[in-house]
Amino acid sequence: MDTSVETLVNREYAYGFVTPIEADTFMPGLSEDVVRAISAKKDEPEWLLEWRLKAYRKWLTLTEPHWANVKYAPIDYQAIRYYSAPRTAKPLGSLDEVDPELLKTYAKLGIPLNEQKLLTGVAVDAIFDSVSVATTYKAKLAEYGVIFCPLSEAVREHPDLVQKYLGSVVPYGDNYFAALNAAVFSDGSFVYIPKGVKCPLELSTYFRINTADVGQFERTLIVAEERASVSYLEGCTAPKRDTNQLHAAVVELVALDDATIKYSTVQNWYAGDKDGKGGIYNFVTKRGKCAGARSKISWIQVEAGSAITWKYPSCILQGDDSVGEFYSVAVVNNHQQADTGTKMIHVGKNTRSTIVSKGISAGHGNGSYRGLVKVLPRAENARNYTQCDSMLIGNKCGAHTFPYIDIQNPTATLEHEASTSKIAEDQIFYLKARGLNTENAISMIVNGFCKEVFLNLPTEFAVEAQKLLGVSLEGSVG
Amino acid sequence: MLEIKNLTAKAGDKEILTGISLTVKAGEVHAIMGPNGSGKSTLAQVLAGHPSYEVTGGSVTFLGQDLLALEPEKRAQAGVFLAFQYPVEIAGVTNAYFLRAAFNEQRKARGEEEVDPIDFIDLLEEKLKIVEWGPEIMQRAVNFGFSGGEKKRNEILQMAVLSPKLAILDETDSGLDIDALRIVANGVNKLQRPDAATIVVTHYQRLLDHVVPDFVHVLAGGRIVKSGGKELALELEARGYEWLEDSAIAGARA
């Protein structure tokens, strides 16, 4: 009965190409010398080198975590190259100086860096392997006092801000991958929104891994001062390769009184082939601190790529009346594995959090939701709402839910809803009987399932996310 | 328009259609009646291409095409519409989005341009009148939390939007109260065209009081055991199906 669905073609990953560009790439291997060399490449101040070295020494004492519901062969950290930059990359005065080969690459990815052709209202920082190669609309943003630049540039231009906030939410020794990142991070985006400013543009970073064997360890830091607000989006792709590549990023968000940060991710790293060969290991630490009263941090993620995803974008709700949100769609197809969720740590009074997680498992994919809601003793009247839904497509995939709850204040109110459903042949047939082909039928059903999350994405990207979901699930019903 | 010849089909190992032959011309309304388990709904589903049934023999030609060779969506695009006995719920997808997607898929298949959301609203306004609905229904998720009657009305609304050449109504009258039955039946009547045909699959006479068939066929044991005009439906109402089943069994033995 499934022949009609089984014969679907599996569309190729459209971003799997390699850019032929001369790169300045380190030999594989990790040591204190490598850490020093990265720091030297970037001409960093002493305090930052010291911070990196502390992180490296801490990392040596840690062991790789294996509590996540994912399986993979041991990672050889000495086989990874910790730095790779296009040869031409240097501090750029304007976009005209960007290597045409790089501009072509980003155009091919649908991210034209030419400002006239850009999505209106979106400024982009383009990160290629280990370095930022272009940032658009910097001048326009500067008029508002908004800083949006590569982190390496911020270290030079705004050292006080960076030193104040770097590691303030995710300390260098936070966990194994965060420590590794702190030791070898190469670049990333820095965003600073001054008091009372509503960022006039959507900010976006586009991450691209190009060089083989290279690990990408970017670090993003976003600070919103009192009454500031910003919406930020990251996108990611990588070439198709037979070997696995490590991406261990750190994102830190800081929201002061009445500030709002919305951080959206559309993650489409190469997921490996149909048999599970190759793909990106996406081991990421993302955390936001609602440091001020009435501040708000929202994480919205659409996780469609990567061979393995391990990430828990979290909120520390420290300020009274602060709000944390986590809206997630995580898709696993073929042999993909994802263990993702969030942590909501209620510290302040009247803090509220919302968690909406939609997991979709297809093929041999294995998806897990893992979430912690913690209410500390001082957090009077904390409230959490959690909704956790899983959809199974086919009968070889898995969906798991690991909710953890730790309540230390009796005034807390928590609600938890969960469901698991199987995409029904009857739904597909119903839509086919109205003229939709199988792909469009599945896409419609899945998008309906994820609607609450997509409604929270910036509109320009909601459409992209829906398409991405359709492509990720092609050939998934059998 | 539709030519079914000696059609046989099974679900799993169970033979359900044992040899159906039926010719339907444009402008005609055919009623397929019969007791439970006679194969009425199976015939409707097989014509729409439901993957749970395997066609084991015979042929179906629709407007000169081999219907059985087509995927369900191609059949829909060719103008076949099945009003489901049990319409399916699709959470999170609005009726408006779903209907426009279906409408545009069929237009694309005919090489016509897609209709944008604004123009589609105009078109819908007309169609909603047919089922006596206001525009609110379009913002609800497809059949989600609909009552039984609303689901059936929604099927007729879809039929109105898609204006099929062959509409197959599978027990559309089951579970309807008097008002809903009237609305559904009126809808079906309004949608009849000289170039389109309707097959009404039903267990009871009551829908046929409103939608008057040109021909009535009685199914028993997976084949048509008796055909006649609309008066046959009345006879069935009065006498039940047993007398036909007996003769069908007798016929099968002979």
> ipTM of this predicted complex?
0.94
| Res. A437 pLDDT band, cuts 50 70 90 | very high
| Res. A112 pLDDT band, cuts 50 70 90 | low
The DSSP string of B17-35 is EEEEEEEE-TT-EEEEE--
| Amino acid identity at A445 | I
Looking at residue A137, what is its pLDDT? 77
Which residue would you say has higher pLDDT here, A478 or B56?
B56
Q: Which of B73, B91, B98 sits opposite A437 (nearest CB)?
A: B73
Looking at residue A8, what is its pLDDT? 30
Comparing C-alpha atoms, which of A301, A349, A300, A294 is closest to residue A323? Answer: A294
What is d(CA A12, CA A344) in angstroms, rounded to the nearest whole number? 37
Round the average pLDDT of chain B to a whole number and report it: 91
Residue of B73, B97, B168 for testing the chain A interface, max A β-carbons within 10 Å: B73
Looking at residue A477, what is its pLDDT? 56
Going by the DSSP 8-state scheme, the letter that residue A225 receives in this structure is: -
Buried (b) or exposed (e) across A29-61, using 16+ Cβ within 10 A? ebeeebbeebbebbebeeebbebbbbbbebbee
Residues of A in contact with B48 (CB under 8 A): 433
Q: Which of B73, B92, B101 sits opposite A432 (nearest CB)?
A: B73
Is pLDDT above 60 for A94?
no
Which of A107-111, A309-313, B17-21, B115-119 is least confident?
Answer: A107-111
Give the count of beta carbons closer than 10 Å to the beta carbon of residue A333: 25
Which residue would you say has higher pLDDT here, A268 or A121?
A268
Distance between A430 CA and the closest CA of chain B, angstroms: 7
Comparing C-alpha atoms, which of A155, A147, A173 is closest to residue A250? Answer: A173
| Res. A280 pLDDT band, cuts 50 70 90 | confident
Question: Percentage helix, strand, coil, to 5, in chain A?
Answer: 25, 35, 40
Which residue on chain A is closest to B51 by alpha carbon? A1
Which residue on chain B is closest to A3 by alpha carbon? B51
Tell whether B101 is within 8 A of chain A (Cβ). yes
Is pLDDT above 90 for A259?
yes
Residue of B41, B93, B114 for testing the chain A interface, max A β-carbons within 10 Å: B93
Looking at residue A25, what is its pLDDT? 79
Phi-psi region of A204 (alpha: psi -120 to 50; beta: other; left: phi over 0): beta
What is d(CA B120, CA B135) in angstroms, rounded to the nearest whole number? 12
Hey, what's the torsion of the CAs at A327, A331, A337, A342, to 10 degrees? 0
Task: Flag if A436 and B92 touch (Cβ within 8 Å).
Answer: no
Task: Flag if B48 and A433 touch (Cβ within 8 Å).
Answer: yes
**Distance (Å) of CA A466 to CA A455, A457, A474, B55, B142:** 11, 11, 13, 36, 18
What is d(CA A434, CA B75) in angstroms, rounded to the nearest whole number? 9
Q: Which of B50, B97, B141 sits opposite A429 (nearest CB)?
A: B50
**Distance (Å) of CA A88 to CA A26, A43, A94, B40, B240:** 16, 17, 14, 72, 87
HSE at residue A414, side-chain half, CA atoms within 13 A, is 18
How is residue A63 written in tokens?
């062991």
Round the average pLDDT of chain A to a whole number and report it: 85
Is pLDDT above 70 for B137?
yes
Is pLDDT above 80 for A237?
no
Is pLDDT above 80 for B38?
yes
Tell whether B88 is within 8 A of chain A (Cβ). yes
Residues of B in contact with A387 (CB under 8 A): none
Residues of B in contact with A445 (CB under 8 A): 90, 93
Going by the DSSP 8-state scheme, the letter that residue A198 receives in this structure is: B
**Distance (Å) of CA A67 to CA A71, A73, A283, A343, A382:** 10, 15, 13, 16, 28
What SS3 state is found at A223? strand
Report percent pLDDT > 70 for chain A: 81
Comparing C-alpha atoms, which of B162, B160, B230, B170 is closest to residue B190? Answer: B160
Looking at residue A478, what is its pLDDT? 44
Is pLDDT above 50 for A4?
no
What is d(CA A246, CA A281) in angstroms, rounded to the nearest whole number? 5
What is d(CA A446, CA B92) in angstroms, rounded to the nearest whole number? 9
Which residue on chain A is closest to B91 by alpha carbon? A448
How is residue B115 written in tokens?
């209709």
Task: Flag if B51 and A4 touch (Cβ within 8 Å).
Answer: yes
Entry pTM: 0.82
Residues of B in contact with A444 (CB under 8 A): 90, 93, 97-98, 101
Continuous H helices in A69-150 = 100-108, 138-143
Task: Flag if B76 and A433 touch (Cβ within 8 Å).
Answer: yes
Which residue on chain A is closest to B52 by alpha carbon? A1
Distance between A361 CA and the closest CA of chain B, angstroms: 18
Which of A110-119, B7-16, B124-133, B236-245 is least confident?
Answer: A110-119
Please give the average per-residue pLDDT across A133-145, as a whole number. Answer: 80
Looking at residue A454, what is its pLDDT? 86
How is residue A401 written in tokens?
């839910």
